[in-house]
Amino acid sequence: MDHLPPHKRRQLMQKIKSKDTIPELKIRKLVYSMGYRYRLHLKSIPGTPDLVFLSKKKAIFVNGCFWHQHVGCKDSHIPKSNTGYWKPKLEKTIKRDIKYHETLFLNGWDTLVIWDCQMANEDLLKNRIKNFLDSSSNYLKVR
């Protein structure tokens, strides 16, 4: 049962959101330690990806499972209270994400999404990042 009043719930969720930068910092450090260099949050690129590899035309998004509604993830459930606030808000984010990825793809960009819940296995992360950055494929991966 959710016993928090809506405004308290919102405050709590905003706190969770601000923690989303921790996985992002971890990915930055990891990618840097692997020898790749990148730009951060380039506003000129659709969706303002967290890490941008300009010469490769590749971008990495580090997504919070809740805010970006990771499909099938236990962390992506919509709060039971104040659904009228959360549902449209989260659906808007999903639609926006899809649009960004499509736009990037159509412009020849390759994207990788790393979800919060995938942060634990560093070896797996490294492999995924390496495969992504060293391959020359440009295919559409939205979710």
Binding site for Zn ion (CB under 5 A): 65, 70, 73, 115, 117
Taking the complex as a whole, the smallest distance from the CB of residue 136 to Zn ion amounts, in Å, to 28
Residue nearest to Zn ion as judged by C-beta position: 73
Cα dihedral sign for 122, 43, 88, 141? Answer: negative
Phi, psi (deg, nearest 5) at residue 121: -90, 95
Q: Which is nearer to Zn ion, 23 or 49 (CB)?
A: 23
Q: Shortest distance, CB of residue 43 to Zn ion, whole angstroms?
A: 26
Rounded to whole angstroms, the maximal C-alpha distance in the chain is 50
Provide, rounded to whole angstroms, the least separation between the CB of residue 115 and Zn ion.
4
Q: Which is nearer to Zn ion, 45 or 113 (CB)?
A: 113
Contact at 8 Å (CB) between 115 and 65? yes
Q: Which is nearer to Zn ion, 49 or 64 (CB)?
A: 64
Nearer to Zn ion, 54 or 98 (CB): 98
What 3-state class would DSSP assign to 40? strand
DSSP state of 79: P
What's the token pair of residue 46?
């659709």
Shortest Å, Cβ 63 to Zn ion: 8
